[in-house]
Amino acid sequence: MIGINPRISLVDGTFVTQPQFAFWFKDVGWGVENYGTDPTIEVEITPEDYMQGRDPQLDRAIEEALKLLSQVEMLEPPSD
């Protein structure tokens, strides 16, 4: 699906959609509207995670932040 516009209503209150929005640029070709960016680190989030209130993305972000912090040397405080 590229993009939809729910403009065709049916008698039962539902509607019909059809793909119709996209863009094309000479340098990148066709693209899908509202496509973000590919993640640097992919983290799977399962329905079970959601149901149990777990946030694997946040957990992985904290893990990565702690890893980066452990690589930083302690800086000396500025002298007056």
Note whether residue 49 is domain-resident: yes
- The answer to whether residue 78 sits within a structural domain is no
pLDDT value of position 69: 87
In a domain, 8, yes or no: yes
- Cα(72)–Cα(77) distance, integer angstroms: 15
Residue 65 confidence (pLDDT): 93
- pLDDT for 61 beyond 90: yes
Pairing of strands 15-16, 23-25: unpaired
- Three-state DSSP class for 75? coil
Domain span including residue 65 = 43-72
Residue 38 lies in a domain: no
d(C-alpha 71, C-alpha 33), whole Å: 39
DSSP string, 10-56: -TTS-EE------EEETTTEEE-TT-----SS-----HHHHHTT--H
pLDDT single digits (tens) 3-60:
566 777 888 888 877 666 677 788 877 776 666 678 899 999 999 998 999 999 999 9
In this structure, the answer to whether residues 27 and 47 fall within a common structural domain is no
pLDDT at 1: 43
**Which position has the higher pLDDT, 2 or 33?**
33
